[in-house]
Structure 1
Amino acid sequence: MLELKLLRSFVLLAEELHFGRAAERLHIVQPALTQQIQSLERQIGTPLLNRARGRISLTDAGALVLAEARKTLEQAARTEAIGRLAGRGEVGKLEVGFVGSAGVGALMPAVLRDFRRSHPAVELHLVEMAVGPQLAAIAAGTLDVGFVRLPPLSLPPGVTVLPLRPDSLVAALPAGHPLAALDAIPVAALAAEPMVLHHRAGAAELRSLIDDLCGRHGFTPQVVQSVPQISLTVRLVAAGLGLSLLPGSIAWLAVEGVVYRPLADADIQYTLALAHRPQDPAPAVRAFIALAEKAAEI
């Protein structure tokens, strides 16, 4: 395989067509340059230069090799530059998971915006996933980070969570519902109400919290519809199918005909967090985590 050093020497010599000037540009002595060109010619198997009467010129083979040498050196320079950028986390791809409620809240979009501004050459691939599958994917290395809700039902080995912003459950009601007149709704007042909730497969942690909360107030929620997405949940509430219990950050998603009210006697928090591998060496991942921490402080 040809050495890049030999190709660089040949390109400079082809530009100068003078051993002395080319050697000076390379900061080597002329005999060393002569040896390099001879070594290159031996490896290629044909003369690259015409040497006559103290003047040199390129052979036909030399002209062809010159064109290819320039392409090779340009590609090597690009490869080196990309390697440096990747080492600083400035190029590449980041796989980001998120639960639906994080996608409609304000914090996650702010982190994505700030990361895009600071790392424009890093491709962000966003995947909406439930908490459990996100944690499993992070542990397996198919996701880099994930916006999840705490507490998780279980945390796999090799994954940690960074709490970002505490949240609470709120009731989402049709605007004309009698309970909408209250400033805060007692949990027990929901006992007889039809409810639209996330199905367990898509939000096991949220459903577990809701079932536990309702159980502590003496009833099982009357679920008339289980849905996979929070945005659909809110629209079904607007359509009058029932009430819902959702993370408080959902109030950022304004939907006509829906009002949000805090719960008067709910003492649970449903914290937004960032899941990741604590020993992940990727600079882009570390930069993303740092931006999430910064956004959480605002």
Structure 2
Amino acid sequence: MEIDEELTLKKLQIFLAFMRNGNLSKTASEMEISNVSVHKALHSLESALRCPLFKHEGRNLIPLKSAYVLQEHSHKLVQDIVVTINKTREAAGFAAKVLHLGSLYSLTVNTIPNVISRLKLRRGELDIQLLLSSNLDLVKKLKSTELDAIIVALNETTRDPDFESLPMFEDNIYLAVNKHSPLASLDEIDLSTLKDETFLTLSKGFATRNDSDLVFEKAGIDPKVFLQVSDIFTLVSMVSTGVGLALLPGRISTIYESSVKLIPLQGSYQIKQEIGLVFLKSKERDPNLLALVAECRMFAKQYIAI
């Protein structure tokens, strides 16, 4: 048997509301439509089913046995449809119980704990899974929908027509040296004078590595790189032992602050990192992402105020 196109889920919902309330006015109020619309929906439902559902007693509609049968089975049908919709949206990452968030190691010093703690207050039922990696790797995982959102450096890797981004704050790049280094007494540094110094860097794909390469290029030097590492905490630790120098963002200033000094670069070599939230435009209406966006906006306002 073919299902008549006039038989819609909306009409079944109106029918179920009428069966619960027993009159047109209460049903219209619940469904936020007019009495006439309720009456038309019920009449159309009878036409689609090709059988009567009610008998008329004055202005009242009295349910027939057929109406009670429809009520029993359509109630389960509507519930199944709702479950189906929810499961489908969860599979696509919309309003799921888990938020897959990616970020840079350096942002776990302040930014990520602040955003996550406030997000948990807003959506306590949400399970947040955090992945730390390089800018390039996180962008790839966002593109392939392995992640729902990332908080990273906004640069050429995040310029994609499928992405939506929200800038949060800017950070300067500094020269990091051991506090016992002769350089530690300087108020600023001319990077071009460090051609013979030994440097430590992050691996390719990290935003700070990309920015370091740009600064070295500006200074006209080909740095002697002693070691490349895959996380910024190891890099700061190596600098603190005096193994070499590194270019690092200011946000890591609280790590090993007793043994590492951050020296501003001279004006011509200064460079800023812009940090922000990035997510797929196709998910911009997802409730979890809307909550995350709200908290990132709040963090950005507080950062500016500070």
1:282-297 maps to which residues of 2 (within 5 A)?
282-297=286-301
Q: Match of 1:12?
A: none
**Alpha-carbon distance in 2 for matches of 1:178, 1:150:** 34
Q: Is 1:95 paired with 2:97?
A: no
1:188-227 maps to which residues of 2 (within 5 A)?
188-200=192-204, 202-203=205-206, 205-227=207-229
**Alpha-carbon distance in 1 for matches of 2:190, 2:113:** 32
Change (3 A) 1:154 1:107: closer
C-alpha distance after superposition, 1:145-173 (max 9, x if no partner): 10111323463441132211011101111
Query: Counterpart of 1:141 in 2: which secondary structure?
Result: coil
Amino acid at match of 2:97: G
Check conservation: 1:107, 1:296, Cα contact below 8 A: no
Check conservation: 1:90, 1:121, Cα contact below 8 A: no
Check conservation: 2:95, 2:286, Cα contact below 8 A: no
Q: Match of 1:59?
A: none
Q: Is 1:274 paired with 2:280?
A: no
C-alpha distance after superposition, 1:211-243 (max 9, x if no partner): 221122221111101000000000001111101
**Alpha-carbon distance in 1 for matches of 2:277, 2:197:** 34
Amino acid at match of 1:272: I
**Alpha-carbon distance in 2 for matches of 1:120, 1:253:** 30
**Alpha-carbon distance in 2 for matches of 1:255, 1:166:** 21
Check conservation: 1:132, 1:152, Cα contact below 8 A: no
Deviation at 1:107, TM superposition (A): 2.1
Amino acid at match of 2:193: A
Check conservation: 1:180, 1:261, Cα contact below 8 A: yes
Check conservation: 1:136, 1:156, Cα contact below 8 A: no
C-alpha distance after superposition, 1:65-106 (max 9, x if no partner): xxxxxxx9xx99xx79x99xx8xx8761101001122222x2
**Which TM-score applies when normalising by structure 2?**
0.66
Q: Match of 1:228?
A: 230
Change (3 A) 1:253 1:152: farther
1:143-154 maps to which residues of 2 (within 5 A)?
143-153=147-157
Unaligned ranges ≥5, structure 2: 1-60
Check conservation: 2:240, 2:256, Cα contact below 8 A: no
Check conservation: 1:139, 1:156, Cα contact below 8 A: no
Check conservation: 2:139, 2:157, Cα contact below 8 A: no
Cα RMSD of the aligned pairs, angstroms, is: 3.7
1:99-248 maps to which residues of 2 (within 5 A)?
99-104=104-109, 106-153=110-157, 155-200=159-204, 202-203=205-206, 205-248=207-250
Q: Is 1:263 paired with 2:265?
A: yes
- Give aligned-pair identity as a percent: 23
- Number of matched residues? 240
Amino acid at match of 1:101: S
**Which TM-score applies when normalising by structure 1?**
0.68
Query: Counterpart of 1:137 in 2: which secondary structure?
Result: helix
Query: Counterpart of 2:98 in 1: which secondary structure?
Result: strand
Query: Counterpart of 2:227 in 1: which secondary structure?
Result: strand
Of stretches 171-180 and 153-162 in structure 1, the one that deviates more from structure 2 is 153-162
Check conservation: 1:159, 1:277, Cα contact below 8 A: yes
Change (3 A) 1:283 1:189: same
Unaligned ranges ≥5, structure 1: 1-27, 44-71
Change (3 A) 1:91 1:151: closer
**Alpha-carbon distance in 1 for matches of 2:215, 2:108:** 24
Amino acid at match of 1:147: I
Deviation at 1:209, TM superposition (A): 2.1
Of stretches 276-285 and 147-156 in structure 1, the one that deviates more from structure 2 is 147-156
